[in-house]
Amino acid sequence: MAARTRLTPYVFLIPSAIFFLAFTFWPILQGLALTTFEWNLFKSPEFVGFKNWNALIERGDFGHSLWVTGKIVLLAVPSIVVLGIAVAVMVDRVGRGKIFYRSVFFAPVIASPVAMSFVMRAMFREESGVINFFLGFFSIPNVEWLASSTGAVSAVVMFFVWQATGNSMLIFLAGLQGIPTALYESANIDGARPSQTFFRITLPMLSPATFFVLIIQTVNSLQIFAHIYTLTRGGPGYATTAMVPLIHQTAFVQYNMGLAATYSVVLFVLILIVTLLQWHNQRRWVFYG
């Protein structure tokens, strides 16, 4: 009896473990090994030791992509959190039409970035695009979205945030459901203003949800690819070449597999560090009721 119980948990892990070992772990090891090779796909891989790691430091493009990714993450993640909370709070309070509003905000999550990139590209056109058309009503002159460096980054962030808000809204809606009504009632009795209720009760009680959204969206935005690849191809110049687009380009345009693998490993470490930092920090502000 005792022997059987000791093995059972591992049996439950088998399905996941098999696929993990074969199709995640092993390729990761190979990817790691690849960082010490130079391989342009046409000749056999050549062992070069630390050449790729040196190249990473010497070449400007990794640092530049780090900078681009940083910009995107710092713009996108707070937007997703704030918009998610704002929309969730409003949708939560709506009587009728709750399902309607929820659907509207969730639809972008389902829409494929490839498909929507066509639409976005048309919308962001300088002279014939809808967005500039509407801006015209506010007397704002035509913005050079996709062709200018700052405009392109903004467009990518907007595209990404538009798509991700629905997910974060759902998490926050769930979080809101978990707040005891009693808290609101007593606040009401005490004569609290709505803004006080929001900042002193709602937000703190939402902190576990906020934490969850923060982690997931940070990890996601650090790896942003499809939105950039389909909307700007990393352009203009390299203005929107974030880390994963850079890796893709290094591998499939410059045929430098070893260097691409090296970039990938560093990105992974980065994501790990950022996540760990956030995880550690949670003690300071996350409030588990």
Partner 1 sequence: MARYSAGTNSIGLPKRYRLIMYVVLTAVAALYAGPILWMVVSSLKNLRQFFAYPPIFFPRPLRLENYAEVFDLFPLGRYIVNTVLVAGVITVAQLFSTSTAGFAFAALEFKGKKVIFLVFLAGMMVPFTVVLIPLFSLIRQFGLVDTYLGLIVPFVFSPYGIFLMRQFFLGIPKDLYDSAHVDGCTDYRIYWSIYLPLSGPALATLTIQAFVFFYNGLLWPLIVINTELKKTVSVGLLSLIARDVTSPHLVMAGAAVSVIPMVIVFVSLQKYFIKGIVMTGLKG
Partner 2 sequence: MAERKQIQMFLVTCLVLLTLAGGTLFGGGSAESDEEPTIRFAVAMDPARLKLYEAAVEEFNASDRGFTVVLENTPWSEYWQKLQTQTASGTMPDVWNYVPGFGQEWLENGLLLPIDQYVEASDMDLADFIPGMLDFMRYEGNLYGLPYDMSGHILFFNKELFDQAGLDYPTEEWTFADVRAAAETIVSEVESVEGERVYGFGNYMNSSWSSAGYYKSFGGDFVTPDLEVEIDSQGSIDALQYFVDLRNDGLAPPPTEAGIGDTAGGQFITWLTGRSAMILDGPWAIPTYVDTVEFDFDVVPVPAGPAQRAPSLLGGTFVIDKDTDYPQEAFEFLAFITSESQLETIVAESGAGIPGRQSAFDKMTPLMEKAANYIMQTNQAFYPVRGSFAIFDKQNSEFELIFNGEKSVEEGLTAVAAFARNVVRENYGE
Stretch 72-131 residues interacting with partner 2 (CB under 8 A):
124-129
252 binds partner 2 (CB under 8 A): yes
How far apart are CB 50 and partner 2 at their closest, in Å? 18
42 sits near partner 1 (criterion: CB under 8 A) = no
Among 84, 113, 151, 234, binds partner 1 (CB under 8 A): 113
What SS3 state is found at 47? strand
The helix-helix angle for 60-93 and 149-177 (nearest 10°) equals: 40
Closest listed residue to residue 260, CA positions, set 31, 48, 42, 51: 31
Query: To which H or E segment does residue 65 belong?
Result: helix 60-93
Near partner 2 in 21-50, by CB under 8 A: 39-43
In the list partner 1, partner 2, none, the entry touching 62 (Cβ below 5 to 8 angstroms by class) is: none
Binding-site residue total for partner 2 (CB under 8 A)?
31
Token duo for residue 121: 């590209």
Helices 207-222 and 149-177, axial angle in degrees (round to 10): 150
Stretch that binds partner 2, among 69-77, 158-166, 248-256, 259-267 (CB under 8 A): 248-256
Assess contact for 289 and 205: CB atoms under 8 A.
yes
CA distance 173 to 175: 5
Nearest of 14, 45, 71 to residue 224 by alpha carbon: 71
Decide: is 108 part of the binding site for partner 1 (CB under 8 A): yes
137-166 residues in contact with partner 2 (CB under 8 A) are: 144-149
Stretch that binds partner 1, among 18-26, 51-59, 64-72, 143-151 (CB under 8 A): 18-26
By the rule CB under 8 A, 65 interacts with partner 2: no
Q: How far is the CB of 168 from partner 1 (least distance, A)?
A: 11
Considering the rule CB under 8 A, would residue 193 count as an interface residue with partner 2? no
193: three-class secondary structure by DSSP: coil
